[in-house]
Structure 1
Amino acid sequence: MEELLNQWLWQEDYWLPSGITWKDLDEGSVEGGRYPLPRDLLITLPLALGFIALRIVFERVVALPLSRMMGVSDRIRARAPAIPKLEAFYMQKNNHYMQGELLGLAKHCGLTPRQIQNWLRLRRNQDRPSNTKKFCEASWRFVFYLIAFAAGLAALIATPWFWDHRECWRGYPRQPLADTHYWYYMLELSFYWSLLLCVSVDVKRKDFREQIIHHIATIVLMGFSYSGNYVRVGTLVMLVHDSSDFLLESAKMFNYAGWRRTCDTLFVVFAVVFLVTRLVIFPCQVVYSTLVVSVDFLQIFPGYYFFNGLLLVLQALHVFWAYLILRMLYKFIFLGKVERDERSDEEDEEEEEEEEEEGDCTEGEPCWEEKKKGMLNSRLVSLANNCVLNNLTHQRRNMNSKLPKAR
């Protein structure tokens, strides 16, 4: 199996510079560590499953009580009436259906298409994630990113390539791998595997596709950089990304808890750190080192273009997210507050849907929400009428009691 992988997947001519083979790096222990090999990446899959299990325990034992302590409250949503045919249609189609399908469904259910649309809106709102779920997810990522950044900084601050990026390529590819850098790589890669495996159950945000591209590009980039022994520059890439991620997750936590001032302050700090690290340090230092400085130490080979291409994909995503962040900073500076996260989850559209529900209710076709409002309004009117009648009766009794005295 290993020979087959080496022949088709781990081709030396593609992954390594000319004149270097996997046997040259497969020397076991060397002074100062050992050489990285592609088979080391197999440990990331069981570690990813371990991260998922640890996350479940963390969210139930730590994050959930913490959300209650911080005052996280969930929105109370009206539940759609239990209609088995509509439930089956929703589970099959969700939000992807044609107008003709609604007409056919209306005949079977005895409802109008407008009523079915309103029922589907209520049903979709039931599936929207609560603030507690979003808080638990953000707290899990916050804890990991904070620990990863602190551990990565402690492991790299004493290395020569942290201060001089030319050291990333001096002696390449025979660069020993320390145990701390090995585990830093494996744990980071395993964590991104766990994010990719849980993407279907996590809160779906407006930049869902960009997140998928980011996770895949990160996993491929980390796997390729480890196999080709680009570990030194790879650790710098991970440290740059972790430096701002924990700030974003902490701002989300305070946002879900309703701590607006703390959220706005953390978001401004995150925006500054993100713009500096992702638009200045990453392209001007890291990408410049891989594109230009590396040519002084090695001959260009196919893996050189693949590695730098993935880095440029990440940079394009950084530009996209920087645009969203700058929009929010504009709102903060000129409107006085951060109204909402531009890459927040799809629940932000719920208010718009509720407004559409009110506008869609026409005479003769009352919707579910309108029925509830009508019942509430009728009760308020009857209560007000009772209060008025009671006041009038009470005044008449007082007048009747005062008339004999006046006489």
Structure 2
Amino acid sequence: MLQTLGEWVWWERLWLPENVSWSDLEDTEGRVYAKASQLYDAVPCAFCLLLVRYLFERYVATPLANVWEIKDRVRLTAEQNPLLENYFCSKARAPSQAEVRSLCKKTGWPERRVEVWFRRRRNQDRPCLRKRFSEASWRCTFYFFAFFGGLLALYDKPWFYNLREVWAGFPVQSMLPSQYWYYILELGFYLSLLLRLTFDVKRKDFKEQVIHHFATLTLLSFSWISNYIRIGTLVMAVHDASDILLEGAKVFHYAKWHKTSDAMFVVFTVVFMVTRLVIFPFWLIHCTWVYPVELYPPFFGYYFFNVMLMVLQILHIYWAFLISRMFYKFIFSKLEGDDRSDEEEDDSDPPKERNHKSSHMNGSGVRGRANGH
């Protein structure tokens, strides 16, 4: 049964065009081809990147945060209240006004006190500023080296300038050492992001991030096995171009270098729109939809690869909407942070409540006077 399943999984018509077999992609003298077993190299690479990230955040990002005087905001701890804690964990982190009134009846607290409790409790679960800075600086550093390393591997290749060269001799195209390392590092990086997803800063587009990481890993793995390596390297370079600027803008925003952050955000917006909404669909997806059928009949891998590219493009459109909204705020009002972020809320008591509490603490209230304090 397992043998039959393996034959179905590795059926040549799923991965390769007609009249091409796995035997055509066996290594010969002077020619080396990508192999599915090499994808396992991404697993140790992912764990190595996690170790490098830990060392980077501890010995580079943390000292840099100290130099730039990036400090965590002092948070007020929510009062101990088992009833509200149970409601927070099991039902709603942000209750509606009707739910707040119901909780007031159960706890005997005023509405404002319940609302402040939930704000403080939500803030306790949010990542601190230094954690955000460390994460952004790590991603910015990786994307920087990945992008310029990718350009170094691509700049002298004919398919970097003429997309028809992507399919010259396909799929019998020898793999280059630079392509191997580019792929394994990118696969390892996105795998490490998946492994860290529940520990990293959780944003409002968390589900979209998960879909993006899975789609990217699936695309990279499939393109490796089917020898779509040339187009795969171009797709990675296009994505890394804007990611450097996004993470860099966050780094300078956390460091309160607002002019630098604003300038990088403007450049990021332009680069994102050009690379993700113009180059990616009208150059790269056009290259994978149109040119291959001029050489061979469509097969399963052709449709699968293009569908996955379209999934990425849908995510690009979604993020372009969020970025456009942020850019609008930046131009016409005031931009505060990242629209995708779960921003920290003001967890202080309102002035009236603070005065009311302080009056009781100082013994100036009716109860204080009655007790003779």
Q: Name the TM-score, length of structure 2 as normaliser.
A: 0.87
Verify the 8 A CA contact 1:172 1:298 in the aligned structure 2: no
Alpha-carbon deviation of 1:9?
A: 2.5
Alpha-carbon deviation of 1:241?
A: 0.5
Pairwise mapping of residues 7-406 of structure 1 onto structure 2 (< 5 A)? Answer: 7-25=7-25, 27-31=26-30, 33-83=31-81, 87=85, 90-91=88-89, 95=93, 111-112=108-109, 114=111, 118-335=116-333, 337-343=334-340, 345-347=341-343, 350-351=345-346, 354=347, 372-376=354-358
Alpha-carbon deviation of 1:84?
A: 5.4
Alpha-carbon deviation of 1:54?
A: 1.8
Change (3 A) 1:194 1:2: farther
Change (3 A) 1:123 1:263: same
Higher mean C-alpha displacement, 91-100 vs 225-234: 91-100
Verify the 8 A CA contact 1:30 1:176 in the aligned structure 2: no
Q: Which amino acid aligns with 1:58?
A: F
Q: Name the TM-score, length of structure 1 as normaliser.
A: 0.80
Deviations 1:23-64 (A, max 9, x none): 321x23542x51112111111122212212221121111111
Q: What root-mean-square deviation, in Å, do the aligned CA atoms of Structure 1 and Structure 2 show?
A: 2.9
How many residues are treated as equivalent by the alignment? 362
- 1:398 is matched with none
Higher mean C-alpha displacement, 68-77 vs 221-230: 68-77
Verify the 8 A CA contact 2:94 2:118 in the aligned structure 1: no
Q: Look at both structures and tell me which one has the larger radius of gyration over its CA atoms.
A: 1
> Structure 2: how far apart are the matches of 1:104 and 1:380?
29
Alpha-carbon deviation of 1:333?
A: 2.6
Change (3 A) 1:378 1:254: farther
Deviations 1:68-100 (A, max 9, x none): 112212221111123456556645556288988
Change (3 A) 1:92 1:339: closer
Change (3 A) 1:177 1:324: same
Verify the 8 A CA contact 2:100 2:114 in the aligned structure 1: no
Change (3 A) 1:233 1:375: same
Alpha-carbon deviation of 1:11?
A: 2.4
Alpha-carbon deviation of 1:165?
A: 0.7
Which stretches in structure 1 are left out of the alignment for 5+ residues? Answer: 359-368, 383-407
Verify the 8 A CA contact 1:244 1:273 in the aligned structure 2: yes
Change (3 A) 1:4 1:152: farther
Change (3 A) 1:329 1:347: closer
Verify the 8 A CA contact 1:264 1:338 in the aligned structure 2: no
Q: Which amino acid aligns with 1:14?
A: L
